[in-house]
Amino acid sequence: MLGRRILLGGVLAASMARPGLGQPSAAMDLLPSFWPIYDSSRSEPIEARARALIAGYFQPHVAVHQGAGIGRVDLARWLAIFDPIADEVRRLSTAFPAIWREQVERFRRHLPDAASDAPVTIMLSFMNFDARVRLWRDRLVLFVGLDGVVHIHGRGADLGILLDHECFHLYHHQVNPSLILPGGDTIWVGIWKEGLAVYACGVLNPGITRQRMLLGDSDLAAITPELLRKIARELPPVLAATDGQARARYLSYGYRGDIPARSGYALGLAIAERVARGLNLGELARIPAAEIEKIVRAEVAAIAS
């Protein structure tokens, strides 16, 4: 405890040597174990609530949180953000099984070669992310943080489109292992992966608006050709960068600056649309990384001109 803050970083560090959970199944939902603890401690002081959540929810699932990349968490701050949106998170938690079944059926109709047991974990991300795909225990896993979904996208979040986007990332890596670069993701591969996932949402959901394709982001949907040209002109010297700061400018939700956050998604969509002529999603997903780099560099130069 530090003042009124109760931090989870120590719980993570202390648990590193403990046996982890078993290999993730196709769907793992951690929230049924969260709600009873959250509800029963709602009227307690913040310290008591935090202790109850650590003992009853976080510690039993600590290996999953590690796998999702969740580190130090200020529980007092998190609860202050979470309490006002808890009802919406609960609604998504209840609705998730039906949304997931529909998503899987829609996805398999378009991409029948997609793995039938796509591993997904429904959890709390402590506002670290909405959904992300990470390598965990030698397998790519989709982690869905429902508190992050509501915090980032608001009430009534389009969870189906978000799942299509992230499941396409799973599929993309499933059919194209060359995307896992030894030195980590470069900006060019990030732009391609995110842009193609956005494009896939349009294919999987014909007739949706550009804003829905771009995960509800009105700023990205409003990017003009002139702004896209400006972004493309500054990219060539940094396309091979892998450091977080360089990638954040183009691919991070948290970026604040002179261009919209995640502008690489909009640029990647423009590139995917130019490349996609005559190719289906499966063919686009299989373009090898070495060729993708050439494509992205050529298309960035074309958009910049």
pLDDT at position 20 is: 31
Distance CA 154, CA 120 (A): 22
Helices (H) and strands (E) in the chain, counts: 16, 4
122 and 47 assigned to the same domain:
yes
20 and 60 assigned to the same domain:
yes
Assess contact for 21 and 64: CB atoms under 8 A. yes
pLDDT at position 26 is: 65
> Any idea how long the chain is?
305
52 and 125 assigned to the same domain:
yes
pLDDT at position 137 is: 87
210 and 164 assigned to the same domain:
no
Tell me the mean pLDDT in the region 189-209. 96
136 and 242 assigned to the same domain:
no
**Chain-wide mean pLDDT for the chain?**
89
pTM equals 0.86
Return the structure tokens found at 290: 């070495």
Q: How confident is the model at residue 261 (pLDDT cuts 50, 70, 90)?
A: very high
Tell me the mean pLDDT in the region 153-160. 90
- Structural domain including 108 reads 9-175
For residue 229, pLDDT over 50 is answered with yes
Assess contact for 284 and 272: CB atoms under 8 A. yes
168 and 191 assigned to the same domain:
no
**Residue type for 267, please?**
L
The answer to whether residue 181 sits within a structural domain is: no
The answer to whether residue 180 sits within a structural domain is: no
146 and 191 assigned to the same domain:
no
Return the structure tokens found at 85: 């949106």
16 and 165 assigned to the same domain:
yes
The answer to whether residue 32 sits within a structural domain is: yes
The structural domain count of the chain equals 2
Distance CA 57, CA 30 (A): 8
